[in-house]
């Protein structure tokens, strides 16, 4: 009986000593860290399985501008004890925001991406715009779209944001979504760039609908461009295509009016489109003379 009691006491004392050593280990690392000796602190914390020590390790790496190692530490911490996730997310958001303020966008994006990896529904709020811009500049337009859509909720009057979202859709061959974004944007934002890109997108959609044989839809987009009055370089093309659509329906008077507008716009330029408009008017005249 006495032997069993001694054995039990031994294990209790061993556990207490180990706990004190770990506590002492954390305190020493904490002291090194705050006395500007982070390397010595990291040596003490290496391979630790104690949550608060792993957290301290991640915090030190963040302050050393080493986000890769910091994120590995925090990932290991959450794997070890998921209850730390909320505290980790708060710390990472703070670190990401500080990096963003200092212009360290690469570091900020890395940290924000890891936050979303830990918590997919986490709301980055206006920082979604920074994320969108990063992927936009990298040519990853699919990624940018989701961030820009969320960012608009926080900066609805950001003209550049709306335009970039539209251009993301254009670059992913989704012209209809681009058109919808621009059409909605010009209701509240009068910027000429939005109107320019709306007109250009409307023209591209019109050409696409004509190839598909959907002349009714094409006509609507062409009228949109003509109404906007830009891009000016496409106005005569829009009139010419409208003439073609009317001619295909045997609406000769309307067709002639559109072709004549092409001539009016090109009295001293664009000889090719002028010549084609003149040829189309000649066809109309022949058909009217010989019904």
In-domain check, residue 55: yes
In-domain check, residue 59: yes
Rounded CA-CA distance 167/61 in Å is 38
Reported confidence tier of residue 136, pLDDT bands at 50, 70, 90: very high
In-domain check, residue 199: no
In the chain, the number of structural domains is: 1
In-domain check, residue 206: no
Question: What residues make up the domain containing 108?
Answer: 24-122
Q: Which among 123, 94, 87 has a CA at the least distance from the CA of 111?
A: 94
Rounded CA-CA distance 218/227 in Å is 14
Task: Provide CB contacts within 8 A for 277, sequence distance 6+.
Answer: 240, 243, 259, 260, 262, 263, 266
- What average pLDDT does the structure give for the chain? 89
Mean pLDDT of 124-137: 96
Other beta carbons within 10 angstroms of residue 38's beta carbon come to 17
For the chain, percent of residues with pLDDT exceeding 90: 77
In-domain check, residue 273: no
Q: Look up the CATH number of the domain holding residue 95.
A: 1.25.40.10
What pLDDT is stored for residue 206 in this prediction? 98
What are 184-223's pLDDT values in tens digits?
999 989 889 999 999 999 999 999 999 999 999 999 999 9
In-domain check, residue 145: no
In-domain check, residue 178: no
What are 16-34's pLDDT values in tens digits?
344 444 456 888 888 888 8
> Who wins on pLDDT, 5 or 187?
187
């Amino acid at each position: 009986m006495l032997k069993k009691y001694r054995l039990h006491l031994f294990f209790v004392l061993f556990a207490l000593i180990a706990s004190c050593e770990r506590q002492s280990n954390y305190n020493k690392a904490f002291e090194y860290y705050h006395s500007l000796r982070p390397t010595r602190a990291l040596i003490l914390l290496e391979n630790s399985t104690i949550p608060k020590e792993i957290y301290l390790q991640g915090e030190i790496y963040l302050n050393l501008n080493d986000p890769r190692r910091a994120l590995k530490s925090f990932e290991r911490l959450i794997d070890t004890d998921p209850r730390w996730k909320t505290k980790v997310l708060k710390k990472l958001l703070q670190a990401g925001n500080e990096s963003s303020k200092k212009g360290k966008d690469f570091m900020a994006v890395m940290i924000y991406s890891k936050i979303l990896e830990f918590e997919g529904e986490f709301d980055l709020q206006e920082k979604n715009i920074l994320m969108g811009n990063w992927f936009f500049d990298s040519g990853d337009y699919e990624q940018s779209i989701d961030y820009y859509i969320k960012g608009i909720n926080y900066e609805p009057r950001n003209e550049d944001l709306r335009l970039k979202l539209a251009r993301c859709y254009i670059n992913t061959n989704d012209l209809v979504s681009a058109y919808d974004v621009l059409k909605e944007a010009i209701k509240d934002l009068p910027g000429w760039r939005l109107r320019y890109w709306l007109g250009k997108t409307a023209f591209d959609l019109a050409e696409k609908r004509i190839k598909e044989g959907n002349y009714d839809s094409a006509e609507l987009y062409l009228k949109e461009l003509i109404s906007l009055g830009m891009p000016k370089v496409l106005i005569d093309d829009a009139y010419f295509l409208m003439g073609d659509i009317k001619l295909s329906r045997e609406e000769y008077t309307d067709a002639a009016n559109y072709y004549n507008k092409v001539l009016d716009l090109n009295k001293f330029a664009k000889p090719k489109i002028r010549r084609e408009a003149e040829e189309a008017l000649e066809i109309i005249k022949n058909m009217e003379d010989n019904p």
